[in-house]
Homo-oligomer: A and B are copies of this chain.
């Protein structure tokens, strides 16, 4: 792909091109931030309106049964299941990613402790480590930090390259985000799960940047627990419910401590004692936000449409073509400006985003790390929406200190022409040194 014509030809041949029509995208915007907040599916607005006006406004409490509100976590979970290699009945859409992580990490710690206690005495290991990446999405680490403190475990944080070597017999749980939110690096879920299980550890996978973006096969990888986000690649709307999955071999083994009535075996029996539901329903807690849940269901129905066009395999094929094209065009069109990608060149190790950084030793005509934020702002002013993630200055690993310009390429609606035009804008921002303009250098809260 070396010209706009090439890009348009690829779009014309794209078997998934009709899926873009299922979204309501702002006119003229090149939206490369679906990895942060997926755009609005066209069907969502009317469906949410129906939930508000008819289900709530007209049918009121009847809708808990009649409109399926009460069963929504399982019904929506069943739409997520095929995207992540789970089976029907194994996933619930509920609460936030952070809260679901609390539930599954808590369960994983209890199971690991029990397994350690029941191991033959000669094999008994002190299982006292939860292992994760230091640059994992912070909320995952915050939740783990609290649970480790509660259970007397150590949260051991290492860099990406140190994970496999850190899987010692002391590791109780390996908790990782499958696709890294900064670099777009994708772990080998099957290999790391196997390595973790070889030392008697359980695996907890955060699929926030995987579900709907790359094929995930939880059963194929023999994973233990997973959570993920509803409002990124699943296009469920701002703060849409998240999801939780637990392998059937563990799901009824423990009660998670957020033991609310929606996780009860008989929620409407109103008995004073808690009896956990069997199966994944016990990972529910309280009443779910039905309007947000309704929007999430619409987001997932887009994937049902994609299924007829080849499903996740076809989406992955296009995603890799998009990120390949972007990486290659940045090299050719933006040569000499010192940008480079920190996203793996190897397709098998790449999610559905590309992260760029500025030269650490910029020449006079090149932006430096301190300009990365303004680069993103300058692109947004041109109608190319990516986002910026500051580096962690105190991180020991150099990669975690990088200031990142992040571009998501969601195959459901991103065109090859969008990739082409985004790079043209990027080149213009560089050539015009737009990143030096004061209006692009006023930092405030970013998301």
Binding site for B on A (CB under 8 A): 24, 26, 29, 31, 33, 36-37, 39-40, 44-45, 48-49, 52-53, 55-58, 60-61, 63-65, 69-70, 95-99, 102, 134-136, 138-139, 141-143, 145-147, 150, 157, 231, 237-242, 255, 257-262, 264, 268-274, 285-293, 295, 385, 387, 389-390, 392, 394-395, 444-447
Which of B39, B53, B99, B291 has a CB less than 8 Å from the CB of A292?
B291
Contact A138 B261 (CB under 8 A): yes
Q: List 11 A-B contacts (CB under 8 A).
A: A37-B56, A39-B60, A52-B237, A65-B447, A69-B239, A138-B261, A141-B274, A142-B260, A143-B260, A240-B289, A268-B447
Which residues of B sit under 8 angstroms from A95, Cβ to Cβ?
95-96, 99, 286
Known contacts A138-B270, A285-B99; A238 and B145 CB within 8 A of each other: no
Question: Which chain B residue lies CB-closest to A272?
Answer: B141
Contact A272 B241 (CB under 8 A): no
Known contacts A52-B48, A134-B272, A295-B52; A61 and B385 CB within 8 A of each other: yes
Contact B33 A57 (CB under 8 A): no
Q: How far is the CA of A261 from the CA of B145 in the complex (A)?
A: 12
Which of B136, B141, B146, B385 has a CB less than 8 Å from the CB of A255?
B146
Contact B60 A289 (CB under 8 A): no
Which residues of B sit under 8 angstroms from A292, Cβ to Cβ?
289-292
Which residues of B sit under 8 angstroms from A147, Cβ to Cβ?
257
Which residues of B sit under 8 angstroms from A56, Cβ to Cβ?
37, 39-40, 237-238
Q: How far is the CA of A132 from the CA of B239 in the complex (A)?
A: 34
Highest count of chain B CB atoms <10 Å: which of A40, A237, A264, A289 = A289
Question: Which chain B residue lies CB-closest to A138?
Answer: B270
Contact A70 B445 (CB under 8 A): yes
The oligomer's copy count stands at 2
A412 smallest CB distance to B (angstroms): 15
Contact B272 A135 (CB under 8 A): yes
Contact A61 B241 (CB under 8 A): no
A160 smallest CB distance to B (angstroms): 14
Which of B52, B238, B264, B290 has a CB less than 8 Å from the CB of A142?
B264
Q: How far is the CA of A274 from the CA of B157 in the complex (A)?
A: 14
Q: How far is the CA of A97 from the CA of B262 in the complex (A)?
A: 12
Which of B48, B98, B271 has a CB less than 8 Å from the CB of A392?
B271
Which residues of B sit under 8 angstroms from A293, Cβ to Cβ?
239, 289
Further 20 A-B residue pairs, CB within 8 A, beyond A26-B60, A97-B287: A31-B60, A37-B64, A45-B52, A48-B49, A95-B96, A95-B286, A136-B272, A139-B264, A139-B286, A142-B274, A146-B257, A237-B290, A239-B293, A240-B289, A268-B445, A270-B392, A272-B395, A291-B291, A291-B292, A292-B292
